[in-house]
Amino acid sequence: MSLKINIHHIRQNKSGQITDQFTILPQELNLPEPKDTWRPLRFEFTCTNAGDLYVLTGKLSSRIAQQCSRCLAPVVIPLDVDVHEEFSRLPGLEDEDIHHFYGDEIDIAEVLRENVILNLPAKTLCSPDCRGLCPYCGADINHAPCDCKPQSGDPRMAVLEKLISK
Ligand SMILES: [Zn+2]
Ligand SMILES: [Zn+2]
C-alpha cells in the first residue's frame, strides 16, 4: 500500500477537494518498535487545491501501548493529531514549510511520520502521581510498601551501606 494522494482530477479545479481516509500500518510509517505497540492508524483527510498550493488537513488517530516510565506498568495512550500541511509543485516557492512534489501524486508517508513523532509523549506515566519502583529492592510501591528502610537519603548510599555491612 502506498500513502499517496492522487490530485489529478482536482488539478484544473481551484478549490477542488479530495476527501478520503487511509488505514495505515505502523510499519508503513517506520514508527518506533518494539518498545511501543501500535494499533493501525486512521487518517481522515481533505486535500484542497488552493491555487499554487495543495492544502492537506486531517486527523490522524491511533492507540499506543507503552510502559510507564516509573513503574513499567503497561499504559495505553491515545494519539490524536491534527494535521495541517502544504504541498506545491512550483519549484520557486522558497518556504521550508511547503513540501514539494512532482507529477500527480503527493506522498504523505514522511509528513505523517513527522506528525506522529512530534506528538509522542516525552514521558509516559500510568498516573501523574505514580510512585514507581523502590530504588532499593525494585518492588512496585504503588501496590504495597516494601520492607526497605524509609525512603530517606540517597539510594546510592544504601547500596554502599549494603556492601559495607557484608
Ligand atoms: Zn506507573
Ligand atoms: Zn524496597
pLDDT for 147 equals: 87
Q: Give dist(CA 36, CA 29) in Å, integer.
A: 14
Yes or no: say if 87 and 100 are a contact pair by the CB < 8 Å rule: yes
Round to whole Å and give the CA distance between 15 and 13: 6
| Contact yes or no for 49/11 (Cβ under 8 A) | yes
List, for residues 51-72, the tens digit of each pLDDT value. Answer: 989 999 999 999 999 899 999 9
* 127 CA distance to ligand 1 middle (Å): 6
Q: Give the sign of the dihedral formed by CA 26, CA 48, CA 103, CA 111.
A: negative
CA of 26 relative to ligand 1 center, distance in Å: 25
| Distance from C-alpha of 101 to C-alpha of 91, rounded to nearest angstrom | 9
CA-to-CA dists, residue 43 to 30, 57, 68, 116, angstroms: 16, 10, 27, 11
Question: Which bound ligand lies closest to the C-alpha atom of 125?
Answer: 1
Of 13-17, 45-49, 53-57, 64-68, least confident by mean pLDDT is: 64-68
Ligand nearest to C-alpha 131: 1
Q: Rounded CA gap, 37 and 45, in Å? A: 24
| Sign of the alpha-carbon dihedral angle for 12, 15, 18, 21 | positive
Do residues 89 and 101 make contact, with C-beta atoms less than 8 angstroms apart?
yes
Range of lowest pLDDT (11-20, 120-129, 152-161) = 152-161
pLDDT attached to residue 152: 55
The helix (run of H) or strand (run of E) holding residue 18 is: strand 17-24
| Alpha carbons 139 and 132: distance in angstroms, whole number | 9
Q: Tell me what pLDDT residue 37 has.
A: 83
Per the CB < 8 A criterion, the answer to whether 104 and 7 are in contact is yes
Looking at all shown ligands, the one closest to residue 147's CA atom is 2
pLDDT higher at 158 or 65: 65
Q: What is the pLDDT of residues 64-116, one digit of tens each?
A: 998 999 999 999 999 999 999 999 998 776 777 899 999 999 999 999 999 99
Q: Mean per-residue pLDDT for 40-52?
A: 96
- Residue 76 CA to ligand 1 center (angstroms) comes to 12
